[in-house]
Amino acid sequence: MDKGNYTFINEESRSPSTKRKIIYICAVVVIGFGVGTLLFYFINGESFRSHGKGGSKPDTCSIPDVEKFDCHPDRPISEAECLKRGCCYIPASDLSVKDSDLTKSSFLGVPSCFFSRNHKGYEIDNIIKDADHIEATLSRNISSGFPKDVQKVHLNITFIDNVNLRIKLTDADSNRFEPDIPLHYKIVHKRNELYTVELGLDGLLSVKRKATGAIIFKTNLSQLVFSNQFLHLSSHTASSYLYGLGEQKEGILRSFNWMRYTIFNQGDLPVPHRNLYGSHPFYLVLEPNGNANGVFLVNSNAMDAVLQPTPAISLRTIGGVLDFFVMLGLSPSDVVEQYTSIVGRPFMVPYWSLGFHLCKYGYDSLDNTNETLQRNLDKGVPIDVQWNDIDFMKRYLDFTYDPVNFAKLPEFVDDLHARGMHYVAMFSPGVSNSEEPDTYPPYDEAAKLDLFVKNATGSDFEAKVWNWNLTVFPDFSNPATPSYWAKQFQKYHSELNLMEFGL
Ligand SMILES: *[C@@H]1O[C@H](CO)[C@@H](O)[C@H](O)[C@H]1NC(C)=O
Ligand SMILES: *[C@@H]1O[C@H](CO)[C@@H](O)[C@H](O)[C@H]1NC(C)=O
Ligand SMILES: *[C@@H]1O[C@H](CO)[C@@H](O)[C@H](O)[C@H]1NC(C)=O
Ligand SMILES: *[C@@H]1O[C@H](CO)[C@@H](O)[C@H](O)[C@H]1NC(C)=O
Ligand SMILES: *[C@@H]1O[C@H](CO)[C@@H](O)[C@H](O)[C@H]1NC(C)=O
Ligand SMILES: *[C@@H]1O[C@H](CO)[C@@H](O)[C@H](O)[C@H]1NC(C)=O
């Protein structure tokens, strides 16, 4: 169901004028909806209550650039607001980054407003430790500047087994949203933990590899931001070899040159510096001696990860709680194994899907599809799978096909199968809500079961995607949705004898 892998090969060919869609999918971790970019979210903030006297002593602000952690990520930056947060204001020497660039680029530069050495956002208290866990309470002192600071944060660190631990920060006084996905782990009796965990009253929380002292996770909880719609935690990393934070177009090795990586499902063209279809709030870091560790943040809200040359990572999200799984490898493949054992493993792909595929948006007709395929075969190009993008559909409606231009689709698919080839028809995980009543079962049946994602006022959330009119989105976190969706495919499959579908 991960659209990214399948449509990627053909997105480039869609006409730019039709390139605006938002797709809400059941990805491995995330169902997100709601906002554009984090930086603009708080521009129209409320006036904030401040407990501070304003400003910090200059010596607490003399911090090397690489160790400055952004205290004012919400733009535009105001010196007065910065000082009210008890942070340091020193306009960054690199002023080449203009606010208007931020939407186009992911380079943020050195922050002008940063946490001082003695910043006391939260005061840590009531530390309880035993062989299996550590607990503590964080009490808000100076206001973060973001509306509705959580006044008491509960910290719960669970030692799961020798290689995995969980660090969870929640509102001590009320429940907040947590993704409803099963996480698989068992707390076991431990004998040889690979890690040591330290937590001090000054707020320092660190996880180190026992054998080498390598830093796995290190944060000063005094600088935590945990407000209703903005949560921020920075952690040092063992090196600047960090992989993950998908989905992004540029490889998987990330840059620590003050780069921002946004994690928020978006169905736009794969272009540099932009978030894509999948959300994977997970990263893997190589330690100096080649060991690897991994961190997974269980949070499905839109988020940014910012990497700076300390080396350190800052994670910022606009809702939920901060729930980290920390994995100690040893090897990179051990980390991936630990991660996938917690979140669940993907399906094994069919063997043929590893073959040669041919796909394009804009064949427009079956004849054109067939001729293109034949032309390639005639030239000796090996092809295992022919695809059609959504132009095989009637008005881009899921579970239909164009009765004129693709009239012989079933015969074509039969013919491919007879020749040992496969066919994939592309789908969108949203359906039209603008058809005549009782003419379009994919809508009618889901509407009857009330399966669509809702907007803030409780109506079906509608958006413009590919079908001509408006689209609504089956909520894949609703247990009734998968069987509804499977039923549509079964019906379509039996009508068409199609074998494979790409989402
Ligand atoms: C709370 O913040 C103020 C202003 O930064 C600071 O002077 C004070 O020491 C802090 N209180 C505690 C208990 O840390
Ligand atoms: C963490 O922050 C507190 C409060 O600002 C500060 O006193 C302490 O020195 C910091 N710890 C480290 C290791 O930087
Ligand atoms: C701490 O987390 C563990 C699971 O990771 C859970 O079993 C335990 O109940 C939590 N403790 C508190 C006080 O929330
Ligand atoms: C596809 O083309 C082949 C030969 O080029 C032809 O034999 C076959 O009938 C065509 N299939 C359809 C469905 O048009
Ligand atoms: C929710 O959807 C309904 C119907 O489209 C619309 O009238 C309403 O304005 C929407 N509410 C919000 C908050 O978007
Ligand atoms: C759907 O869109 C088409 C083309 O834009 C338009 O002609 C038609 O009236 C629309 N139908 C509805 C029900 O909105």
- Ligand 6 center to 268 CA (angstroms): 24
Q: What share of the chain is helix, strand, coil (3-state, %, to 5)?
A: 20, 25, 55
Closest ligand to Cα 34: 5
pLDDT of residue 497: 65
Q: Which atom of ligand 2 is nearest to the CA of 117?
A: 5
d(CA 471, CA 462): 5
pLDDT band at 95 (very low <50, low <70, confident <90, very high): low
Across the range 211-228, mean pLDDT stands at 98
Indicate the helix (H) or strand (E) that contains 416: helix 409-418
Residue 67: count of CB within 10 angstroms of its CB? 14
Contact status, residue 425 vs residue 392, Cβ threshold 8 Å: yes
* Residue 184, pLDDT above cutoff 60: yes
Query: End-to-end distance of the chain based on CA atoms, in angstroms?
Result: 6
Decide the pairing of beta strands 357-358 and 385-388: parallel
Could you give the angle at the alpha carbon of 39 between the alpha carbons of 34 and 44, nearest 5°?
80
- Ligand 3 center to 278 CA (angstroms): 29
pLDDT of residue 101: 62
Helix ranges (DSSP H) in 261-408? 332-343, 366-378
Task: Give me the DSSP letters along 191-220.
Answer: S--SEEEEE-TTSEEEEEETTT--EEEEEE
Full strand arrangement of the beta sheet holding 204-209: 195-199, 204-209, 215-220
Chain centroid offset of residue 438 CA: 37
pLDDT of residue 100: 60
Lowest mean pLDDT among 36-40, 185-189, 286-290, 398-402: 36-40
* Residue 299, pLDDT above cutoff 80: yes
pLDDT of residue 190: 83
d(CA 19, CA 14): 7
Give the closest residue (by CA) to ligand 5 atom 9.
457
- Ligand 1 center to 133 CA (angstroms): 28
Contact status, residue 500 vs residue 424, Cβ threshold 8 Å: yes
pTM above 0.85, yes or no: no
Cis omega (within 30 of 0) on the bond before 330? yes
pLDDT of residue 50: 33
Give the rounded percent of residues in the chain with a pLDDT score beyond 90.
Answer: 76
What are the phi and psi torsion angles at 262 (to 5°)?
A: -90, 135
pLDDT band at 96 (very low <50, low <70, confident <90, very high): low
pLDDT band at 499 (very low <50, low <70, confident <90, very high): low
Contact status, residue 119 vs residue 145, Cβ threshold 8 Å: no
Lowest mean pLDDT among 12-21, 345-354, 478-487: 12-21
- Ligand 3 center to 167 CA (angstroms): 10
Give the closest residue (by CA) to ligand 5 atom 11.
457
Contact status, residue 122 vs residue 203, Cβ threshold 8 Å: yes
pLDDT of residue 501: 60
Residue 156, classed as helix, strand or coil, is: strand
* Residue 470, pLDDT above cutoff 60: yes
The residue among 198 and 95 whose pLDDT is bigger is: 198
Lowest mean pLDDT among 148-152, 392-396, 491-495: 491-495
> For the purposes of burial, counting CB atoms within 10 Å of the CB of 68, is it exposed (0-12), middle (13-18) or buried (19 or more)?
buried
Task: Give the tens place of pLDDT for each residue, 301-336.
Answer: 999 999 999 999 999 999 999 999 999 999 999 999
Give the closest residue (by CA) to ligand 1 atom 4.
52
Beta bridge partners of 470: 464
Pseudo-torsion of CA 316, 318, 321, 324, nearest 10°? Answer: -30
pLDDT of residue 271: 85
Does ligand 5 have an atom closer than 6 angstroms to the CB of 462?
Answer: yes
Task: Give the tens place of pLDDT for each residue, 169-183.
Answer: 999 999 999 998 899
pLDDT of residue 64: 96
Contact status, residue 165 vs residue 173, Cβ threshold 8 Å: no
Does ligand 1 have an atom closer than 6 angstroms to the CB of 434?
Answer: no
Q: Which atom of ligand 1 is nearest to the CA of 142?
A: 2
d(CA 351, CA 398): 26
Task: Give the tens place of pLDDT for each residue, 473-484.
Answer: 999 989 999 999
d(CA 144, CA 230): 10
d(CA 261, CA 109): 13
